[in-house]
Amino acid sequence: MELVEITPRLHMLRFSIGQAYLWRDGAGDDTDLTLIDAGWAGSAPEIESMLREAGLDPSRIRRIVITHCHRDHVGAAQDLADRFGAEILAHALDAPLIRGELPIPDPDLLDWERPIWEHGITCPEAPPTRVDRELADGEVLDFGDGAVIHHVPGHTPGSLAVHLPRHGVLFTGDTIASVPDVMFGVLHIDRAEALASMRRLAELRPSVLCCGHGEPVTDDTAERLLKAAASAPLMPGTAGE
């Protein structure tokens, strides 16, 4: 795992599969930390150590916002929340999946996605994880000078994105990827719905794009995202449909 600074207030926690993000408000005794996703199950001690080495106090983690229910995004959430008293937040439609009350639906796989699904998911299963607050589209959270929640169904029923409009930062979960460039994500349960979600997010025109997989995008971000959304194929051979 690696901690990468994107901006002075934004870091990425890079795992061998996927990533989480850390946003910082304030400084010193007034520091307020927010995690967007929580990485792998069992990684909480390493996350804690890494933050301390970077001069960040993990006891200042106030909230963990889960973009969706998949294991590489939920894994360490409850362990971190229990250690530091953080609140766990997720969209209401994914909350029962995160808690383990309902099974996580399998994606509707294209042929080329099958090897990714069958052989590429090597991180440990996430344990059933509490959700303290269920979110809805349009809610504004108290960090990042007003963090707007966008419900972006398609990858999972309750996938969400987090937009910090005053900072131009957009966290997309797995609806969008940046592997190797900005692109439509993979392994969606409803590809048409996910593509519609991507196109809505593109209209936000962020300057910093933080996806669940791939490097953060900080150059010509809005243009690259708009182009990718406009050209993304719903199915092979249907570009732009």
Residue 204 class from Cβ within 10 Å (0-12 exposed, 13-18 middle, 19+ buried)?
Answer: middle
Strands (DSSP E) contained in 53-181 are 61-65, 87-91, 133-135, 140-141, 147-151, 160-164, 169-173, 176-178
Place of tokens 């940046």: 178
Work out the pLDDT band at 28, boundaries 50, 70, 90.
confident
Q: What is the pLDDT of residue 120?
A: 66
Work out the pLDDT band at 236, boundaries 50, 70, 90.
low
Place of tokens 């909350």: 95
Nearest to 171 by CA among 213, 135, 140, 136: 213
Q: Average model confidence (pLDDT) for the chain?
A: 94
**pLDDT digits 0-9 by tens, 103-124:** 999 999 998 888 888 776 688 9
The answer to whether the beta carbons of residues 230 and 241 sit under 8 Å apart is no
Q: Which helix (H) or strand (E) holds 145?
A: none
pTM beyond 0.75: yes
pLDDT reading at 69 higher than 70: yes
Residue 73 class from Cβ within 10 Å (0-12 exposed, 13-18 middle, 19+ buried)?
Answer: buried
**pLDDT digits 0-9 by tens, 33-57:** 999 999 999 999 999 999 999 999 9
Work out the pLDDT band at 234, boundaries 50, 70, 90.
confident
Q: Give the number of other Cβ atoms within 10 Å of residue 188's Cβ.
A: 25
Interval 145-164 mean pLDDT = 98
Domain limits, the chain: 2-102+112-231
Query: What backbone torsions phi and psi does residue 53 show, to the nearest 5 degrees?
Result: -65, -30
Adjacency order of strands within the sheet including 208-211: 140-141, 147-151, 160-164, 169-173, 208-211
Q: What is the pLDDT of residue 237?
A: 43
Work out the pLDDT band at 193, boundaries 50, 70, 90.
very high
CATH class of the domain at 2-102+112-231: alpha beta
